[in-house]
Structure 1
Amino acid sequence: MHETTAYEITTPRPWTRPPATATQPVILPADIPPGFGWVTLPNGVRTLAYTHPTPAPPIPVTPAQPIPAWAKTTALLAPTVGGGIAAAGIGLSYAAPGLIAMSHALWSAAALVVAAVTAAPLLLRGARRAATGSGGRGAGAATHITQNITATGLFGRANGTINHR
């Protein structure tokens, strides 16, 4: 059947303080590893023991703030504006030869207008001299009109005379 084994029953001895002559190792505070600390037991003995680390204070979480409407609008318009600028650049690159030709034509037209404005009085003066003859007073002598205007004060009434000669 069953074998029975005999066990010796002992009672624990009460704890006694070590003799004063025993030498205890000296541990400096810098030598204590993290997570351990000095603990005083209920019987008054101080010893090193594992200590639970104090939990770090929780970081306050700020509630999510809504995105402003102007930021959303700007974010939505940025690609559109960029695409428009890119399209304009491509269009200008295709239109560059025509734009260069038009700029040359505009400069030519401006030069023609300046030449016409400069030459018109010279041509009219030459035509008038040819009609009057050698530049003296002949049958086609011009009438001179003089006008004298006088006014008194800044806002005074103006009076004038016209003379035909």
Structure 2
Amino acid sequence: MDPRPTYTITTAETHQTPAYLQHRPTPPMPLHEIPPGVELVTLPSGIRTLAYTQPTPPPMSAAPPAQPVPAWAKTTALLVPTTGFGIGAAGVGLSYAAPGLIAMSQALWAAVALIATGGAAAAALVRRCRRPVPTQITQNITATGFFGRANGTIHHH
């Protein structure tokens, strides 16, 4: 036995359509006053009424004709692999040249160090070879009074 209760299905009584829903011979408003997007439609029951409708899409046209590929696009498409291979070849060349480039950079640093030490040595040699000139400084200071302001002059001879 099935423990669920059973229900009897009945249909509602048919009744007369209310007067306000019955068929009208004329639309509820003049056709020239109907706003855009609203149309006079006939319902399945035969009643004519105003309703909002979806705009009908324009008919689909045939597929647009194929456009030829522009010349600049063809040129670019042909140059891309060439550029890629060129960059790859440059990378391989740099990997083979790396030991030589490292040696050259070390040689350049050695040359810079040689020039710097040579310049410092030359400056020291020039300073040592110059004859020192004795410098004579004369200083005159005068002041008047106990708290007077002092004035002075220095002469290099």
TM-score w.r.t. the length of structure 2 is 0.43
Does 1 or 2 have the higher relative contact order (CA < 8 Å, sep 6+)?
A: 2
TM-score w.r.t. the length of structure 1 is 0.41
**Which one has a bigger Cα radius of gyration?**
1
